């Protein structure tokens, strides 16, 4: 093989490895999967919307936690019982609250979740503005301070000489 071919092969191998390593692992076990492919597809889509309450930032589809397993099984049981997608999710939300949703609805009790990042950004902008204004005020105050005259410089040198000889 020539050098360009080896380079392309190495690049493809690195891309393949990084894709496998970066892609989320699916925790759905084969015994959890439904026989009906349509129902299983619905279950997989819905399980991407539900949060693992143990892992908190993973969907139940991605989590290996036992509670996530239980939620996946419960979701599939509800779908097998004939629930619509909304009914199955509502059943789980009724048991675990809005926290189980990866994208909770905008309600009075979740408004801080939705507005919190914007409030934090606003506080950071205000803090940065105050810091910049303070630094500018300090710089202008330093510029207004008169320089020391020769007598004052000699007095400072004398004080420093006395301290260094002690």
Note whether residue 23 is domain-resident. Answer: yes
CATH number at residue 81: 1.10.8.640
First vs last C-alpha separation in the chain: 77
Report d(CA 59, CA 30) in Å as an integer: 18
Chosen domain end from 59, 74, 100: 100
pTM: 0.54
Residues 72 and 134 grouped into a single domain? no
> Is there a single domain that holds both residue 44 and residue 65?
yes
Cα separation, 102 vs 87, whole angstroms:
17
Residues 21 and 95 in one domain: yes
**Rounded Cα–Cα distance for residues 11 and 13 (Å):** 5
106 vs 73: CA distance, rounded Å: 28
Phi-psi region of 97 (alpha: psi -120 to 50; beta: other; left: phi over 0): left
- Same domain as 138, residue 72: no
3-state secondary structure at position 83: coil
Residue 163 — pLDDT band, cuts 50, 70, 90?
Answer: confident
Domain range enclosing 124: 111-165
In the chain, the number of structural domains is 2
- The predicted model gives 147-156 an average pLDDT of 88
Q: State the Cα–Cα distance between residues 58 and 45, nearest whole angstrom.
A: 14
Q: Buried b / exposed e across 74-99, counting CB within 10 Å, b at 16+? A: bbbebbeeeeeeeebbebbbeeeeee
What pLDDT score was predicted for residue 24?
Answer: 44
DSSP character at residue 27? -
pLDDT grade for 27, boundaries at 50, 70 and 90 = low
Answer yes or no: do 96 and 21 share one domain.
Answer: yes
Q: Domain boundary residue among 56, 79, 100? A: 100
Model confidence pLDDT, tens digit, residues 83-142: 999 999 999 999 988 888 888 888 887 788 788 899 999 999 999 999 999 888 887 777
């Amino acid at each position: 093989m020539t050098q360009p071919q080896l380079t392309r092969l190495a690049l493809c191998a690195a891309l393949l490895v990084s894709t496998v390593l970066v892609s989320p692992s699916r925790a759905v076990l084969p015994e959890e999967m439904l026989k009906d492919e349509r129902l299983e597809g619905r279950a997989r889509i819905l399980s991407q919307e539900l949060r693992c309450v143990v892992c908190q930032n993973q969907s139940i589809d991605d989590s290996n936690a036992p509670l996530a397993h239980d939620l996946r099984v419960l979701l599939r049981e509800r779908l097998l019982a004939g629930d619509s997608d909304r009914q199955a999710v509502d059943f789980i939300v009724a048991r675990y609250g809005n926290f189980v949703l990866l994208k909770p609805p905008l309600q009075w009790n979740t408004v801080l979740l939705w507005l919190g990042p914007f409030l934090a950004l606003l506080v950071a902008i205000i803090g940065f503005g105050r810091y910049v204004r303070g630094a500018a005020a300090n710089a202008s105050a330093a510029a207004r301070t008169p320089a020391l005259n020769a007598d004052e410089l000699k007095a400072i040198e004398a004080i420093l000489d006395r301290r260094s000889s002690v």
